[in-house]
Amino acid sequence: MSELKNDRFLRALLKQPVDATPVWMMRQAGRYLPEYRASRAKAGDFMSLCRNAEFACEVTMQPLDRYPSLDAAILFSDILTIPDAMGLGLYFETGEGPKFKKTVRTAKDVEALPVPDAQKDLGYVMNAVSTIRKELNGRVPLIGFSGSPWTLATYMVEGGSSKDFRLAKALAFNDPVTMHALLDKLTQSVISYLNAQIKAGAQAVQIFDTWGGALSHNAYREFSLNYMQKIVNGLIRENEGRQVPVILFTKNGGQWLESMADTGATALGLDWTTDIAAARARVGDKVALQGNMDPTMLYASPKRIREEVATILQGYGNGTGHIFNLGHGITPEVDPANAGAFIESVHELSAQYHQDS
Ligand code: CP3
């Protein structure tokens, strides 16, 4: 077991005192970085980056090398590796996002789906995790991740991205038994996938429920939260003598924070539509909070970015339990210098909120 040189991220998740608010960015390894675009060109395409542990490690390290102040690394992979391992045939068409060769729309389709073996079918991800851990050598903790069952199901039913989730929602409403059977298989798959990542060296895990917020109040509980609860219950929560924090992120889920906190997750991710001060008042005694600057703020000037960071830090207020992040992934058009200004501002401006620690 390697000693962690910078454990601010894990400490803040567990609400232990920190000297400054930790910061990382969703999608921090990605197309806004010229060095990422160069690695992808070398690998050939996105999935070749993910499938090759050396490449996945190289791109995971790129944001850390460019911004030495980042407090966490996130595994370079994708949430759609699970449906790919179930045999759906994931591919990416430039400018069009992810697509599947096969879709899942009937009870028979669901029955035919295997629950992937995390070691056999997704071993390339576990290789990436252990390779990255070695390369990090205790510099910062490594975050593993997965999609939520509902979010994965939307891609599998639709065959790719969707604006309105017409097919996935029609299946849930017309044939809930089939949708639940699909969500059950995905839940089993996610639990074994995340536990394998933890055993391979992931020191915290995040569940991306990118599309839970597209559901109605009741449907969110039935089709998304219910399954994330099962995942939280099924995860390894201690490894290498440390707690393994679990972060739940439902985009547009601000109205459900109390129920999300009741799952037993360690932390909740907030998008930018939620006021972080109000969120802390609602659930801050139960969970840590991660977020929540509007990612498009990175198109503004460094001065304006710094003001926004100050506002969010002030909103959260004194003490630990806050992990600074964007409210969703950084976008390809962002100037890398502005991302740097964001990260530096968080550390510079947050020390004053941790003086009693
Ligand atoms: O945060 C990180 O740096 C880790 C890497 C990461 C990627 N995808 C890399 C990636 C993570 C955590 C994800 C999660 C993911 N993938 C989600 C959930 C998070 C979210 O953003 O809500 C979703 C919905 C996906 C599915 C997916 N994969 C989409 C919608 C896309 C974008 C397609 C496009 O062309 O914009 C991808 C591809 C993808 N995943 C890229 C990256 C860096 C871009 C691929 C490229 O290089 O062209």
Q: What does pLDDT average to in each consecutive run of 10 residues of the chain (357 residues)?
A: 88 98 98 98 95 98 98 98 98 89 98 98 98 98 98 98 97 98 98 98 98 98 98 98 98 98 98 98 97 98 98 98 98 98 98 90
Q: What pLDDT score was predicted for residue 95?
A: 78
Q: What pLDDT score was predicted for residue 357?
A: 67
φ/ψ of residue 120, rounded to 5: -75, -50
Residue from 76, 78, 228 whose mutation best tests the ligand 1 pocket (most atoms within 8 A of CB): 78
In which element (H, E) is residue 163 found?
Answer: none
Assess if residue 317 is contained within a domain.
no
* 226, 256 contact by CB (below 8 A): no
Assess if residue 133 is contained within a domain.
yes
* 321, 289 contact by CB (below 8 A): yes
Q: What pLDDT score was predicted for residue 2?
A: 60
Total residues found in the chain within this entry = 357
Domain extent at residue 82: 27-291
Can you tell me whether residue 265 is helix, strand or coil? coil
Q: What pLDDT score was predicted for residue 120?
A: 97
Atom of ligand 1 nearest to the CA of 332: 36
Assess if residue 3 is contained within a domain.
no
Q: What pLDDT score was predicted for residue 356?
A: 79
Distance CA 176, CA 192 (A): 24
Q: What pLDDT score was predicted for residue 300?
A: 98
Assess if residue 48 is contained within a domain.
yes
Which residues make beta-bridge pairs with 216? none
Assess if residue 349 is contained within a domain.
no
Count the domains in the chain.
Answer: 1
Q: Half-sphere exposure of 55 toward its Cβ, with a 13 Å CA cutoff?
A: 20
Atom of ligand 1 nearest to the CA of 50: 9
Assess if residue 235 is contained within a domain.
yes
* Contacting residues for 185 by C-beta, under 8 A, at least 6 apart: 86, 110, 113, 115
Atom of ligand 1 nearest to the CA of 208: 18
Task: Give the CATH number for residue 186.
Answer: 3.20.20.210
Residues with CB under 6 A from ligand 1: 26-31, 40, 46, 74, 76, 78-80, 97-98, 145, 161, 208, 210, 329
Residue from 26, 27, 208 whose mutation best tests the ligand 1 pocket (most atoms within 8 A of CB): 27
Assess if residue 148 is contained within a domain.
yes
Distance CA 274, CA 253 (A): 9
| CA 79 to centroid of ligand 1, rounded, Å | 7
pTM above 0.85, yes or no: yes
Q: How far is CA 342 from CA 27, 42, 52, 312, in A?
A: 15, 29, 31, 12
Active site amino acids: 27, 31, 40, 78, 155
Assess if residue 274 is contained within a domain.
yes
* Contacting residues for 95 by C-beta, under 8 A, at least 6 apart: none
Distance CA 285, CA 208 (A): 23
φ/ψ of residue 95, rounded to 5: 80, -10
Q: Give the pairing of strands 90-93 and 97-100.
A: antiparallel
Please enumerate, as own/partner, the contacts of 226-230 that have beta carbons within 8 Å and a separation of 24 or more: 227/148, 227/149, 227/150, 227/183, 227/184, 227/186, 227/187, 228/148, 228/149, 228/260, 228/263, 228/265, 229/263, 229/264, 230/187, 230/191
* 309, 253 contact by CB (below 8 A): no
| CA 124 to centroid of ligand 1, rounded, Å | 17
3-state helix, strand, coil in the chain (%, to 5): 50, 15, 35
Helices (H), the chain: 8-13, 34-43, 46-51, 53-66, 81-83, 107-112, 123-136, 149-158, 166-174, 176-200, 217-219, 226-234, 257-261, 276-283, 302-316, 336-350
In which element (H, E) is residue 122 found?
Answer: none
Can you tell me whether residue 323 is helix, strand or coil? strand
